Structure 1
Amino acid sequence: MTNKVVVLGSLNVDTTLHIAQMPKPGETISAKSKTNSAGGKGANQAVAAARSGATTSFIGQVGRDSNGQFMIDALKRDGINVDHINVDEADGTGSAVILLDEHGQNSIMVYGGANQAMKPAIIADSESLIDGADILISEFETPQEVTLAAFKLAKKHGVTTILNPAPASQLIAGLAEVTDLIVPNETESASLTGIEVTDTASMAANADKFTKMGIKNLIITVGDRGAYYHTPADDGFVPAFKVHARDTTAAGDTFIGALSSQINKDLSNIEDALTYAQKASSITVQRLGALPSIPTKQEIENEYK
C-alpha cells in the first residue's frame, strides 16, 4: 500500500555564505563562497515522504519571484504535486541567510515572507486534495490558524493528522483536538508541557499531559538516543541507529516525512514506522545539506538489509 501524504508547510530558499569567522559589529568581511539550496521544514518533509514512496502533495505559498519558481521546481523534481502552492503577490518567497564559518558554527536569519502571510481561507481550495489523503502533516513555520483550518477538514474526511510543533510555540485553541499524532523533539515537548524530558518516566509524564490536552498519540525524538512513542494501546522507546553524524540539518524533517510514508492511518504500526523513520534520518545525518541528504526508500533498504 502506498500512502497518500499531504504536507502543509514552509518553502524557503537557503543562502549559505561560507566565511572564515563571524563578523564583528560594524565589520565588513568577504565570503569565500555562496550556495543556494531548497529548504524549509515543509519542503524537507515532503521530499522525505516522496523519496520513501508516498504519493505526495504540497499546500503552501511562495512569492511571485525567481525563488518561488526555484522552490516549485525543486519539489517537482521529486514528483510532488505542486498544484496547491499559492502565489502571493505582496510578499516574497521565504528565505534564510546562513553564515557558516570554518569551525562549523552558524548564524541563521529567517525571512518568513509568503509562508507567514498564508491565510486560512486558502485551505478551502484544497478540500478535495485533503479528502483524498491518508496523512496530513503540518508544522509551525506557517501560521497555526492555517493548520487548524486544514486539520478540521482532515478530521471531517477521516484523514490522520500529524503535527510537528517546530519551531516551538504554544498550540492555539482547538488545534490539539484535531491532532492525531504530535511529533516534537525533547525541547519542543518540554516547552509545550512544562515537563523536562530526561528519561522514560518524564516522557510518559509528557504523554499524560498531551493526552489531557486532547492529543492521544505522541512520538518524542531525542536525537542520537532514539525516540519514545505513546498510544492508548502501547508505549516504548526505540534506540537510534549509531552512525557518525556529519550534518544534522533536516534529520527531524526526514524522520517525519519517512514516518508518514509508512504509518497506517490508525497508527497501528507506529513502532515499525518509527523504526523505518530512524533508519532514514540516520542516513540523512551522514550527508551534507538538507534536500540532498534525504535518502530514497531503496537507499534505506540497502543500508539496513
Structure 2
Amino acid sequence: MDRADIVVLGTFVADLAFKAERLPVVGETLLGQGFAMGPGGKGSNQVIAAARAGARSAMITRVGQDSFGDMARQTWSRDGVDTSHVLIDEAAPTGAAFIFVSSRTGDNAIIIESGAAANLSPADVRAAEGLISGARVFVTQFEQPIETAIEGLRLARGHGVTTILNPAPALPVDDAIYVNCDFVTPNETEAATLTGIDTATDEGALQAAASLVRRGARNALITLGAKGALLHGEAGTHFVPAFKVTKVVDTTGAGDAFNGGFAVAIAEGRNPVDAVRFGAAVAALSVQKPGTAPSMPTRADIDAFIRANG
C-alpha cells in the first residue's frame, strides 16, 4: 500500500475472554460459561474497524516475536492493513488482555498488559512520518506511552491531517496534548476521569465536553452508551442518538468500532454529525456479535444497517 487514508498508532493484544455471571472475589474460583481467544488491542481493533468499513488503513505498533505476534500479522493481512511500520520487538512479548464478559448483560471488565507496544517511542512515530503525512485521519489512544501519542498527534497536525484522540484508558495528562486534537473521543466514564465532572446527566456530559474544548481540543465527542453520543466544539453542539439494538451479545470493542467508523466517515469528507451517526452504526453492529476485532462489520453490512434504520 503506497498510501493510507487512516493511520492508527496503538496496541495489539491477544484478547482472552471469559464469560461468567459475575467476577470472582479475591480468593474465589468460579466456573466459567465460555472462553474465547482472539485479536484485540484498541489500536488494532480501530484499524480493523476502519479497514472493514472501506478505508485504506495502516497500523503503527510493536509486537513480540511470538505466537500472539503471529496472530496480529495474520489478522491485519486478512483485512488488508498496511503493516510497513509494525516493528518486531525482540525484548518483550506481544500484549494480552483479560476480558470478563457478563453472561447476563454482555457488559465487560478488562485488564490489559500492553507488552511490546509499551516500548513504542516518539522515534518510532517519527520514522513513520511519511506514512502519517499522506493520511487523511490519524488516530491514537493511551494504551501506548503518552509521549508517543503526543508525538503522533503533533506530527499529524503539522501535516494538516485530522487527528482523533481516543483517551482510553483515561489517564492524567497535561492539557498541552489537546492542542493537537481535532476530536477527543472519551466514553462517559473516561470523560469524568479526565475532567472531574460527573457525566451521568446530559448537562454533566456537556460540561465535561466544554471542559475538554477549553483545554484546547477543537471538538469533544463523548460516547454515552445506549444514549448515543455528544459532540461539542467547533462543529456545534449535538446529541446524536444511538441505534436501537434488540440483543446485545458483547459490548467489548464497541468504542473501538465507533472510533474506527467515525474516522472512516471523516476521511470520506462527511460532516461531523453524519460521521458520528456512521460510527454509531458500526458500534451497534459490533455489539451483536462476540469478540472485538471479529465483531467489526463490513461496509456492506454498515450501509445496509443504516438504510434499514433510517
State whether TM-score is above 0.5: yes
Q: 1:288 to 1:86 in 2, by over 3 A?
A: same
Whether the aligned pair in 1 keeps the contact of 2:107 and 2:252 (CA below 8 Å) is no
Q: Residue 37 of structure 2 aligns to a residue in which SS?
A: strand
Aligned-partner Cα distance in 2 for 1:158–1:235:
24
Question: Do structure 1's residue 192 and structure 2's residue 194 form an aligned pair?
Answer: yes
Identify the residue that residue 159 of structure 1 maps to in structure 2. Answer: 161
CA contact (8 A) 1:64 1:87 kept: yes
1:227 counterpart = 2:232: no
In structure 2, relative to structure 1, the CA distance for the partners of 1:300 and 1:145 (3 Å cut) is same
Equivalence for 1:204: 206
Q: 2:253 corresponds to which letter in structure 1?
A: A
- Note if contact 2:10-2:60 (Cα within 8 Å) is conserved in structure 1: yes
Q: Give the % identical residues.
A: 38
Task: Indicate the residue corresponding to 1:92 in structure 2.
Answer: 93
Q: CA shift at 1:235, angstroms?
A: 1.1
Evaluate the alpha carbon distance shift between residue 238 and residue 64 of structure 1 in structure 2; reply closer, same or farther with a 3 A threshold. Answer: same
Q: Does 1:45 align with 2:21?
A: no
Match of 2:139, SS state, is strand
Q: What's the CA shift for 1:25?
A: 5.5
Stretch deviating more after TM superposition (186-195 or 129-138): 186-195
Q: What CA distance in whole angstroms lies between the structure 1 residues aligned with 2:194 and 2:219?
A: 15
Structure 2-normalised TM-score?
A: 0.89
Q: Indicate the SS of the match to 2:88.
A: strand
Note closer, same or farther for the CA distance 1:33–1:212 as it changes in structure 2 (3 Å cut): closer
Q: Is residue 257 from structure 1 mapped to residue 265 from structure 2 by the alignment?
A: no
Q: How does 1:127-138 map to 2 (within 5 A)?
A: 127-138=129-140
Number of residue equivalences: 303
**How far, CA to CA, are the matches of 1:259 and 1:107 in structure 2?**
24
What is the deviation of 1:231?
2.4
RMSD: 2.5
Deviates more, 1:29-38 or 1:152-161: 29-38
Counterpart of 1:67 in structure 2 is 68
Rate the CA distance shift 1:253–1:20 in 2: closer, same or farther, 3 A. Answer: closer
Q: Which amino acid aligns with 2:165?
A: L
Judge conservation of contact 1:144–1:172 (CA < 8 Å) in 2. no
TM-fit CA distance, 1:288: 1.3
Task: For residues 41-88 of structure 1, give each alpha carbon's deviation from its aligned partner in whole angstroms, at most 9, with x where no partner exists.
Answer: 111101111111111000001011121121111011111001101111
Unaligned runs of 5+ in 1: none
State the one-letter code of the partner of 2:193. Answer: S
Q: Distance in 1 between matches of 2:19 and 2:287?
A: 20
Q: CA deviation at 1:33?
A: 6.4
**What CA distance in whole angstroms lies between the structure 2 residues aligned with 1:26 and 1:96?**
21
Shift of 1:27: 6.7
Instruction: Map 1:142-153; keep pairs closer than 5 Å.
Output: 142-153=144-155
TM-score by length of 1: 0.90
In the superposition, relative to structure 1, how do residues 161 and 21 fare at CA in structure 2: closer, same or farther (>3 Å)? closer
Partner secondary structure for residue 47 of structure 1: helix
SS state at 1:277 partner: helix
In structure 1, the residue corresponding to 2:234 is in which secondary structure? Answer: coil
C-alpha distance 149-301 of structure 1, shift in aligned 2 (>3 A): same
Do the aligned partners of residues 237 and 157 (structure 1) sit closer, same or farther apart at CA in structure 2, a change above 3 Å counting?
Answer: same
Structure 1 residue aligned with 2:239:
237
User: How far has the Cα of 1:232 moved from its partner?
Assistant: 2.3
Aligned partner (choices 291, 294, 297) of residue 295 of structure 1: 297
Tell me by how many angstroms 1:201 deviates: 2.9
- The answer on whether the counterparts of 1:217 and 1:231 sit within 8 Å (CA) in structure 2 is yes
Q: Distance in 2 between matches of 1:151 and 1:37?
A: 29
Whether the 8 Å contact between 1:3 and 1:262 is mirrored in structure 2 is: no
